[in-house]
Structure 1
Amino acid sequence: MKYPLIVGLSIVFVDVVVWRAQIPPHDLVRLFIRLALFAVLSWVLFSSGMNPFGQAPYRDAAALHWLAQVLEIVWWLMAARLFTLSLDSLLLPRAWRKQRLFSDVFGAVVFLAAVVAALAFVLELPVRGLVATSGALAIVLGLAIQSTLSDVFAGIVLNATEPYTVGDWVVIDDVEGKVVEMNWRATHLLTGQGNTLIVPNAMTSKAKISNNSRPANVHGLSLVLEIDPEARPKTVIDALERALTGSNAILKTPAPYARMQRATLNSIHYEVVGFVDDMSKKRVTSNELFDLCYRHLAASGVSLRALGVPAPAIEAHDAKEALLKRVSLFESLSADEVSQLAKRLSRHEYPADQQILAPDTVPDSLAIIYAGVLSVTFRESSGVRELARIGPGEAFGEAGLLAGLPMHVSITALTPSVLFEIGKDDMTSFLKEHPEVAKQLCQLLAYRQDKIVKLTTALPAEQEQGHSLFEWLFGKVRNIHSLYDS
């Protein structure tokens, strides 16, 4: 072959361009192209007498000789790099490829072996003396970087045992985060505050590791509540179990549970445990569950106890008034108005699985949940879909009672429930005595338009004859309850 050095160097140049420019973009296709280029380079070298296992020819021409030596050394380095890439892409598991630690360590060993081989075969240097010298140097270097070496070997153990992989949510020594990178030195965690925490592998290998991503679709959450020791345990447990039922984000399997955990001088600790199918739901569901626990405990006459603080003096409150104050619809009412409205409430009890409101009906009363859990469902072409679960302190039927709008949902008691209701006649009488309250309720209904549209007949989004949505609602309330200016 004419000009084998030019052909060989040209092949090396093309390989560098393919490597650096990442042409083509697909890793596996690019690897096969580079392997083909290496095969062609090997054929050029061996067919031209430039055997990488010996010194290069052209000894009578110093420039050509050293250029051929460089080409043979490059051949060894290309062989080492392509060998590690082939092992990484074709043989290693996907999880190992993401973590990179094994590839980096193995690549370093292969490159070291390639450099020693090039020195021995191409340059014909005394490798035994070099190895002996490098061994002593390695001892000194090892003592200097022993902490780094411990991280490397700990990383190898972590990769082999795989207590977690990239993408898992883990807790390492009480630090929780998502694994975003694993390398030869450390594990990188993305914490809930959006910060990157770097944990050295040596420290990780000695720490307690909790992998929240295994099993894949079950993630536990736990709340510990301090309750008044005078409260009957069965009352507390029943209320907490109703709170667990009130969240449709909590899985039925494994079954959630509530239990008494321990007793202290001033309180009893109760634990509520549930499970969700996605880590991203844990925070939202925990907050929702705490709110449900608070409301169901309050409905059962049980109050939370401040940590380590004796119970405050108990003040007597009317249960109906306390319930009305927890309803957002009546937040704007004064204490006297709340007291008058509370006298008009009637108590109703419903067993589990009883339908309280049928779809496409206009409620003739406003219902406020005092105790229990209700399921709100909507029938679609694909079947029945649960929209929400509602519990103590929540109300429904206000759009029907105030504006005569039908509700397209079905509401059923999931647990034995107690509701306080106010009928149309009582509401009409109350609004006639307090006409300003009608305006406040209509303002709130107009503000909650998005929720009303989902549960009832859509309200007119366009203004009619220059009237706003509030004015339209207020007109409906005046007509239904006969509120006319005197």
Structure 2
Amino acid sequence: MKYPLILGFGIVTLDVVVWRLRLPPHDLVRLFVRLALFSALSAVLFSSGLSPFTQAPHGDVAELHWLGQVLEIIWWLMGARLLTLSLDTLLLPSAWRRQRLFSDVFGAVVFLAATVAALGFVLELPVRGLVATSGALAIVLGLAIQSTLSDVFAGIVLNTTEPYSVGDWVMIDDVEGKVVEMNWRATHLLTGQGNTLIVPNAVASKAKIFNNSRPANVHGLSLVLEIDPEARPKTVLDALGRALTGCNVILDTPAPYARMKRTTLNSVQYEVVAFVDDMSKKLAVSNELFDLCYRHLAASDVTLRALGVAAPAVTAHDAKEALLKRVSLFESLTDDEVARLAKRLSRHEYQANQQLLAPETVPDSLSIVHSGVLSVTFSESSGDREIARVGPGEAFGEAGLLAGLAMHVSISTVTPSVLYQLSKDDMTSFLKEHPEVAKQMCHLLAYRQNALGKLTSPIPAEQEKGHSVFQWLFDKVRHLHSLHDDS
């Protein structure tokens, strides 16, 4: 074969181009292309007498001799790299490939063996002495980098036992995050604050590991509440159970629960545990669940407050006023106006699974939930679909009471519930005494109609022509409640 050195270096150059430009883009196809190039290089070397297992010929021509030596050493290194890639691509599981630990360690061993073989066969150096020298050097390096070696071997254990993998949400000791990378030295976590935390493998192998991604699609969340020990445990647990019922985002299986966790000198700790199907929901559901616990405990006369401070006495009259102040529709009212309106509230009790409002009806009263859980469902061609759950401090029927708008949803009780209601006649009397409140309520109702109009019938387009939503609603309120034009 003419010019074997030129042909050999041409094949090596072509392999470097394929490697650097990642051509073709598919990993498996690119591997077979590189294996074919390696086979072609092997054929060129062996057919021309440039055996990688002996020194290169042309000893009389130094330039040709050393070029042949270099090409034979490249053959060993190229073979080591392709052997590592073949194991990585064809044999290792995809999870191990992403973690890179086994491929990196195996690649290092193979390259070390290829280097020793090249020194022994191609350069004909005394390998025994080299191995002995490298052994002593390895001992020195091992003592110098023993912490790094500890991370490497711990990484091997973690990859073998697989307590977590890339993409899992884990908690290592007290740190929670998503595993974004696993390598021979450390595990990289993306925390909830958007920071990257690097945990050495030696630390992770000795820590308590909570894998929130196993089993899949079930992620637990826990809230711990400290309650005054004077509160009856059954009252607290019932209220927390209603809070769990009022959250329709959590999973039914595994079943959520509330329990008394422990007692201290000043309080009793209660734990609320629930589960969601997506890790990204945990933060929002935790906040919503805490708000529900607060409202249901308040409805049961159990307040979250600074422990050790005596709770103020609350009368029934004060309770009505506090309930009204929690309704956004009455946020703009003064204390005197709230007190006058609270006297007009009437108390109603309902059993579980009792329908309070049928679809396409105009409510003749405003209902404010004092305790219990209500379900809001919408009828579709495929069947009824629950769109929300209503709990203490929430109200419905304001659009019908103020402007005569029908609701196209059905509202029924999920648990035994207590509601306070304000009738249309009482609202008319109140608005006539305080006509300026009508405008304030219409402003809020117009905002809610635009933002949360799913609970009421949409405003007909022909009614809105030339008028804002607020003006149209205000005209409806004045007509429905017989208010004067100058109000």
Q: Same fold (TM over 0.5)?
A: yes
Alignment of 1:185-196 (within 5 A): 185-196=185-196
- The answer for the alignment partner of 1:450 in structure 2 is 450
Single out whichever of 443-452 and 454-463 deviates more from structure 2: 454-463
Q: CA offset at residue 216 of structure 1?
A: 1.1
Distance in 2, matches of 1:371 and 1:218, equals 30
Distance in 2, matches of 1:383 and 1:55, equals 82
- The answer for the alignment partner of 2:399 in structure 1 is 399
Instruction: Give the secondary structure class of the aligned counterpart of 2:304.
Output: coil
Question: Does 1:158 find its partner at 2:152?
Answer: no
Whether the aligned pair in 2 keeps the contact of 1:460 and 1:469 (CA below 8 Å) is no
Letter of the 1:185 counterpart:
R
Whether the aligned pair in 1 keeps the contact of 2:478 and 2:485 (CA below 8 Å) is no
- The answer for the alignment partner of 1:126 in structure 2 is 126
Q: CA offset at residue 69 of structure 1?
A: 1.1
- The answer for the alignment partner of 1:244 in structure 2 is 244
Single out whichever of 257-266 and 429-438 deviates more from structure 2: 257-266
Q: Aligned pair in 2 of structure 1 residues 235, 424: CA closer, same or farther (>3 Å)?
A: same
Single out whichever of 165-174 and 55-64 deviates more from structure 2: 55-64
Alignment of 1:122-271 (within 5 A): 122-271=122-271
Distance in 1, matches of 2:332 and 2:404, equals 22
Q: Aligned pair in 2 of structure 1 residues 207, 410: CA closer, same or farther (>3 Å)?
A: same
Q: CA offset at residue 383 of structure 1?
A: 2.4
For residues 215-239 of structure 1, give each alpha carbon's deviation from its aligned partner in whole angstroms, at most 9, with x where no partner exists.
1111111111111212111111100
- The answer for the alignment partner of 2:309 in structure 1 is 311
Question: Does 1:324 find its partner at 2:324?
Answer: yes
For residues 313-365 of structure 1, give each alpha carbon's deviation from its aligned partner in whole angstroms, at most 9, with x where no partner exists.
41324221111011111111111111111111111111111111111111111
- The answer for the alignment partner of 1:5 in structure 2 is 5
- The answer for the alignment partner of 1:374 in structure 2 is 374
Whether the aligned pair in 2 keeps the contact of 1:399 and 1:452 (CA below 8 Å) is no
Letter of the 2:308 counterpart:
P
Distance in 1, matches of 2:453 and 2:245, equals 26
Distance in 1, matches of 2:273 and 2:150, equals 39
Q: CA offset at residue 449 of structure 1?
A: 2.5
Letter of the 1:387 counterpart:
I
- The answer for the alignment partner of 2:90 in structure 1 is 90
Q: Give the fraction of aligned pairs with identical amino acids, expressed as a percent.
A: 80
Q: CA offset at residue 461 of structure 1?
A: 7.1
Whether the aligned pair in 1 keeps the contact of 2:408 and 2:455 (CA below 8 Å) is yes
Single out whichever of 181-190 and 463-472 deviates more from structure 2: 463-472
Distance in 2, matches of 1:183 and 1:482, equals 75
For residues 50-90 of structure 1, give each alpha carbon's deviation from its aligned partner in whole angstroms, at most 9, with x where no partner exists.
11111122223221111111111111111110111111111
Distance in 2, matches of 1:436 and 1:290, equals 36
Instruction: Give the secondary structure class of the aligned counterpart of 1:448.
Output: helix
Instruction: Give the secondary structure class of the aligned counterpart of 1:37.
Output: helix
Instruction: Give the secondary structure class of the aligned counterpart of 1:249.
Output: coil
Distance in 2, matches of 1:438 and 1:91, equals 74
Distance in 2, matches of 1:463 and 1:102, equals 71
Instruction: Give the secondary structure class of the aligned counterpart of 2:30.
Output: helix
- The answer for the alignment partner of 1:428 in structure 2 is 428
Whether the aligned pair in 2 keeps the contact of 1:169 and 1:213 (CA below 8 Å) is yes
Instruction: Give the secondary structure class of the aligned counterpart of 2:249.
Output: coil
- The answer for the alignment partner of 2:27 in structure 1 is 27
- The answer for the alignment partner of 1:116 in structure 2 is 116
- The answer for the alignment partner of 1:79 in structure 2 is 79
- The answer for the alignment partner of 1:294 in structure 2 is 294
- The answer for the alignment partner of 2:351 in structure 1 is 351
Instruction: Give the secondary structure class of the aligned counterpart of 2:159.
Output: helix
Instruction: Give the secondary structure class of the aligned counterpart of 1:222.
Output: strand
Distance in 2, matches of 1:217 and 1:109, equals 39
Distance in 2, matches of 1:287 and 1:90, equals 47
- The answer for the alignment partner of 1:471 in structure 2 is 471
Distance in 2, matches of 1:373 and 1:47, equals 86
Q: How many residues align structurally? A: 484
Q: Aligned pair in 2 of structure 1 residues 434, 147: CA closer, same or farther (>3 Å)?
A: same
Instruction: Give the secondary structure class of the aligned counterpart of 2:59.
Output: coil
Q: Aligned pair in 2 of structure 1 residues 219, 405: CA closer, same or farther (>3 Å)?
A: same
Instruction: Give the secondary structure class of the aligned counterpart of 2:320.
Output: helix
Letter of the 1:347 counterpart:
R
Single out whichever of 121-130 and 226-235 deviates more from structure 2: 226-235
Instruction: Give the secondary structure class of the aligned counterpart of 1:180.
Output: strand
TM-score, length-scaled by structure 1: 0.97
Distance in 1, matches of 2:104 and 2:136, equals 24
Q: CA offset at residue 451 of structure 1?
A: 4.1
Q: Aligned pair in 2 of structure 1 residues 464, 213: CA closer, same or farther (>3 Å)?
A: closer
For residues 109-155 of structure 1, give each alpha carbon's deviation from its aligned partner in whole angstroms, at most 9, with x where no partner exists.
10000101111111111100000011111111111111111111111
Distance in 2, matches of 1:111 and 1:380, equals 66
Letter of the 2:170 counterpart:
V
Gaps of at least 5 residues in structure 1 are: none
Single out whichever of 465-474 and 162-171 deviates more from structure 2: 465-474
Instruction: Give the secondary structure class of the aligned counterpart of 1:198.
Output: strand
Letter of the 1:236 counterpart:
V
- The answer for the alignment partner of 2:416 in structure 1 is 416
- The answer for the alignment partner of 2:59 in structure 1 is 59
